[in-house]
Structure formats: structure tokens, C-alpha cells
């Protein structure tokens, strides 16, 4: 079993915002398998999907971004999963919109949800998939930018990125992280 946790903020108010890119990916994975997330349990909404690449538990923490570590720790204990059998997916303002990065470990890079996970789980050895949401209009008001919705043009780019991110998840399960890194870390949406 493999656990994919998308980070975001619960509620309609945040649904289409840049900060919810992680939720958007796990929603895409659930939709592809016609699965639905159940009610909140263990601080996350979860569903199980079967992909050609294997069984996945998809989770959307309901603790809000800055407390994501509380939910992730609860999920790891509940499912008996080691941190290395976990993939955390989240927005990354330091990456331009349309870029993806897979890493097996590292610092939070300032992303508050990942910072919470590293602190509460107690290790930096947590695989992650970062979805670039940065753009030319990023200035001093980072919170306002992250909590704003994607424009129509940005949403078109995001749809391509989410498709590529699904491929990255399947590749991680079938061929491992190195192959997934080769596949997505240098990729740009115009290469479709």
C-alpha cells in the first residue's frame, strides 16, 4: 500500500486556490478511478483507489495547511505506513507554474505544510512532489497570492501539469523515484 497525501486547506473558499494544488492532484487521481473521498476520519478525508501501478490511499488533511503534520502523523499510524511509503504533494511558489519536482527527501523549502510534516513526523526523508504555482505577479504578499484562484489561462496549464503529475505517481510506483525524477523534473507543459 502506498499513501499519497495532497496538501491544501479544506472548504469551498480555498478549493480553486494555488495553495490547494495538492488537493487537486489527489482529486484527479480519485476521479480517474471513480472513487469518492469519505467523511473526515483521522483528521483527513481518504479514499482507496486501484491503479495499474498498485493500490493507493489518497488523503486530504482537514487540519489546514500549517498543521498538516498532525494529519500525516495520524495517517502513518493508522495505516502502519513508513514515511518512505508516503508521497506528499503540495504547491511550490518557488517553482514557476507548469513545473514539477520529485524529491525523496530534503528541507521544507519554507512551505508551511511540509515544515509541519517534517517537524511532527521527525524526519526529512519524506518523498514529495512539488507542483509549481509561482508566477510573475508574486511579490511581498505571498499569502494573498497563494490563496488566490488560478486564472483561466493558468488553469489550462495546471490541467496539463496535473496529468503529468498523475504519470509521475504511477511511475514512482512502477519504476521508482529516479525514473519519475527523469520524467518530470525537467519537463515543461509546452512539451506535450
Residue numbers annotated as active site: 19
Question: SS3 for 88?
Answer: strand
pTM score of the predicted model: 0.94
pLDDT, residue 137, reads 64
> Selecting from 1.10.530.10, 3.40.50.1470, 3.40.50.1400, 3.40.1160.10, what CATH number does the domain 2-191 have?
3.40.50.1470
Phi, psi at 105, each rounded to 5°: -165, 175
CA geometry: angle at 118 spanning 116 and 119, to 5°?
A: 65
pLDDT, residue 120, reads 97
Region for residue 110 given its phi and psi (left: phi exceeds 0; alpha: psi -120 to 50; beta: otherwise): left
pLDDT, residue 189, reads 77
The per-residue pLDDT string of the chain (192 residues; one tens digit each, 9 = 90 and over) reads 899 999 999 999 999 999 999 999 999 999 999 999 997 777 999 999 999 878 999 999 999 999 999 999 999 999 999 999 999 999 999 999 999 999 999 999 999 999 999 999 999 999 999 999 987 766 667 888 899 999 999 999 999 999 999 999 999 999 999 999 999 998 887 654
pLDDT, residue 142, reads 84
Which of 173, 177, 176, 180 shows the shortest CA–CA distance to 53?
173
Cell of 167: 504519470
Domain ranges of the chain: 2-191
Length of the chain in terms of residues written: 192
Distance, CA of 173 to CA of 180 (rounded, Å): 9
pLDDT, residue 192, reads 43
pLDDT, residue 139, reads 64
Distance, CA of 163 to CA of 64 (rounded, Å): 25
pLDDT, residue 179, reads 96
Amino acid at each position: 500500500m502506498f499513501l499519497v497525501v495532497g496538501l491544501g486547506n479544506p472548504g469551498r473558499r480555498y478549493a480553486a486556490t494555488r495553495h490547494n494544488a495538492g488537493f487537486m492532484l489527489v482529486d484527479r487521481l480519485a476521479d480517474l478511478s471513480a472513487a469518492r473521498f469519505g467523511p473526515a476520519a483521522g483528521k483527513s478525508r481518504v479514499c482507496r483507489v486501484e491503479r495499474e501501478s498498485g493500490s493507493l490511499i489518497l488523503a486530504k488533511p482537514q487540519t489546514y495547511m500549517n498543521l498538516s503534520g498532525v494529519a500525516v502523523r495520524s495517517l502513518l499510524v493508522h495505516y502502519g505506513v513508513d514515511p518512505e511509503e508516503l508521497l506528499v504533494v503540495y504547491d511550490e511558489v518557488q517553482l514557476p507554474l507548469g513545473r514539477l519536482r520529485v524529491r525523496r527527501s530534503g528541507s521544507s523549502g519554507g512551505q508551511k505544510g511540509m515544515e509541519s510534516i517534517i517537524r511532527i513526523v521527525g524526519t526529512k526523508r519524506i518523498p514529495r512532489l512539488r507542483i509549481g504555482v509561482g508566477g510573475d505577479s508574486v511579490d511581498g504578499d505571498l499569502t494573498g497570492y497563494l490563496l488566490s484562484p488560478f486564472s483561466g489561462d493558468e488553469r489550462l496549464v495546471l490541467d496539463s501539469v496535473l496529468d503529468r503529475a498523475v504519470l509521475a505517481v504511477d511511475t514512482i510506483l512502477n519504476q521508482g523515484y529516479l525514473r519519475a525524477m527523469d520524467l518530470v523534473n525537467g519537463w515543461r507543459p509546452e512539451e506535450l
